[in-house]
Chains A and B, each alone.
Chain A
């Protein structure tokens, strides 16, 4: 089934069965949409790439990792990185468990979609990004926001509908926005976030090519298996490859779209294959193993930063809970759930850290305790926060305070004292 690992090389290259991670090289000059201007990389950025290469552990093919994990001495992560990954995944899990508790106590309401079981994907990708890189997600976005840096307090308050939430209570569970952390939502319609993410990647390229700014920001778009049957997905695969945009399309294939099995709804269930059809590499990775996801993510992000274009990454993962807290989750087989529960990404990372002597039981327990306290504190903070004031109802519909637009002097018209109510006679 979808447990086999396979990958393809980009574009017009030959079909190889493994993802080969070539050492970092500077991209050849390419033309932007047929223009004769070539993509030149300024010297400052090439220094950055060399620095990257020096810092990284020796590059290995991911398939090699699977086979040689026990044999090779070189580890995939350092102790600090390992603890950072562990902490992030524990935060995601604890937070979501707390959400379930709060929902059943009536503090949270509406639609709440929990991410339990999929933490490896979020942590594996987002912990490689900088603050100026963007993340676009779906309604299952709490953990993406947390990994990207939005504080647990802000997310919890948003879920409670309080004014201290990241969107002042106006967005809710499905609409986590944070301009500071470049978390561009939180979209309820599946497939809606993909073009928006493609647009953010487009801006990154535009800033570099047209505005001549030093910009190598990438965008990561997260979405599910159901979305891969939606038209917008294909439209964006086409345009991202056509314009060589710095975007990574991450499919969190948890095999179920509410109650619709991926196999029942898709003519060819292997989603990674759809990448090469549009001219980009398609990679399949075990989404329950954060280290494998991280390795694939590193290559995809570096590819995008080099200006070589998009990558489609299919992460085979599983959600331990139902689609949302209102989903009775009756259609999924208990045996399937048990099989994936045995592959819990947090347990797997814990085992790796301890077996490779990167951390001991005590350190991990300290992290778990710290996160527990953090989440408890977030709940207390959210509880204590006030609800939005009545005047907030009508605020922020427009960025423009009164809706009259901008005048010839570049300021808002309503700020001009001579602009009175009445007809505009020109």
Chain B
């Protein structure tokens, strides 16, 4: 699996087939090839740069300091910035999240790490009631420039209590911004934007993506680089079917698009990047072009992100649709442990291919 992913990472990196060929050509003519960066390094460099640019930014969470980060995302930060800016907290999510929110009320910019977003459930009162709603309740007097980040969704064999995807839960709350990066560039750009942002941001990473390498441009390596929030990215252009997804599923969708291309179906893959605000404009523009929609997510199907996207498309672009909207989500069960069952519980490339074919053959 890792071999295939790395191969794919070199091929796509956000370019369509035509542009890949030209990139390979241009790569031959330049002395140096494009740089690659893992998502882990991208996140680390983003936090590092934002901390050095603004002394009000600090990191708190379990194992972020001496342990160098439970997933090594905050590696080296304690040595560089000292214990006054990188806090190893006790195991007290409600407490330290609340402290982060209170510090944000008073003008600092905390980056609160949850070891996984499953643990954020112990602190969800603070994320929603004291962070998300405060700017509204105080009529603009108190804004909360805080970032809640950590791995979200399924990993490999970690069981039901460590595998839930929280995108839908947080994205339903007004007052929060919810971001879900895919590539290293997404990770860097969105995290930098999140840390600079004056509002509470829930930053959903993915544990399995941390070790993946992606090509990264010189522009993205600049310390002032950041991406806009609320804007999706078209990872691959196409004309027959639109596949909308986020986080790890973008990789699967791109692989599915390759397989579909072999069968003559040109799929457009949209990487949402931002779940709230949702980029309805991009999604609808794409569906109006292709007339077919397939949405993919890893989380539970009922009331999920895909449900919202389907509703948005049906409401705004109904007359452009040539086939019913297709929705692929994780199985409606808590995540099983056995490896084969886990594979069945999550969307795979074949599921996306099958759904896209269904969308394409339905009306013709």
Task: Report which A residues bind B (CB closer than 8 A).
Answer: 32-35, 37, 134, 136, 167-171, 175, 177-180, 184-189, 192, 194-204, 206, 209-211, 231-232, 235-236, 238-239, 242, 395-400, 402-410, 413, 419, 421-426
Contact = CB atoms under 8 A, between A and B. Distances in A.
Given A184-B142, A232-B98, A239-B92, A396 B85 contact: no
Given A187-B129, A211-B55, A399-B198, A195 B139 contact: no
Contact of A167 (B95, B126, B139, B234): B139
A171 B137 contact: yes
Nearest to B96: A239
Given A33-B83, A33-B84, A405-B197, 6 more contacts: A178-B141, A184-B105, A199-B100, A209-B84, A210-B58, A404-B277
Contact of B101 (A37, A196, A210, A413): A196
A82 to B, nearest CB: 33
B84 A210 contact: yes
- Can you list the 9 inter-chain pairs with the closest CB atoms, starting with the nearest? A199-B102, A195-B98, A235-B95, A177-B138, A405-B229, A203-B106, A399-B143, A196-B102, A168-B139
Contact of B90 (A186, A242, A419): A242
Q: Interface on chain A toward B: helix, strand, loop, or mixed SS?
A: loop
Contact of B135 (A136, A242, A399, A407): A399
B99 A424 contact: no
Contact of A179 (B55, B125, B138): B138
19 contacts: A185-B137, A192-B126, A199-B105, A210-B55, A211-B55, A211-B56, A238-B90, A239-B96, A396-B139, A397-B175, A398-B198, A399-B199, A403-B277, A404-B231, A405-B227, A408-B226, A409-B224, A423-B231, A423-B233
B37 interface: no
Nearest to B234: A423
Contact of B103 (A192, A200, A423): A200
A35 B83 contact: yes
B24 to A, nearest CB: 20
Contacts of B234: 423, 425
A395 B140 contact: yes
B139 A405 contact: no
B271 to A, nearest CB: 10
B148 interface: no
Contacts of B185: 426
Interface string B211-225: 000000101101011
A196 B217 CA distance: 40
Contact of B105 (A200, A396, A402): A200
B93 to A, nearest CB: 9
B226 A407 contact: yes
Nearest to A237: B95
Contact of A194 (B89, B98, B145, B199): B98
Given A35-B83, A189-B129, A399-B198, A198 B95 contact: yes
Given A179-B138, A189-B125, A231 B94 contact: yes
Contact of A195 (B101, B108, B196, B230): B101
A189 B58 CA distance: 27
B107 interface: yes
A136 B228 CA distance: 34
Interface in B257-307: 277, 281-282
B177 interface: yes
Given A398-B177, A426-B219, A167 B226 contact: no
B55 A195 contact: no
Contacts of B143: 399
B52 to A, nearest CB: 13
B135 A192 contact: no
B197 A179 contact: no
B104 interface: yes
Contacts of B139: 167-171, 177, 395-396
A419 to B, nearest CB: 7
A403 B106 contact: no
Interface in B70-120: 82-85, 87, 89-90, 92, 94-108
A320 B90 CA distance: 40
A207 to B, nearest CB: 8
B137 to A, nearest CB: 4
A396 B136 contact: yes
Contact of A192 (B125, B193, B231): B125
A210 B229 contact: no
A361 to B, nearest CB: 41
A400 B276 CA distance: 13
B189 interface: yes
B134 interface: yes
A413 B196 CA distance: 12
B174 interface: yes
A200 B105 CA distance: 7
Given A177-B138, A189-B125, A192-B126, A413 B84 contact: no
Nearest to A194: B98
A72 to B, nearest CB: 41
Contacts of B145: 399
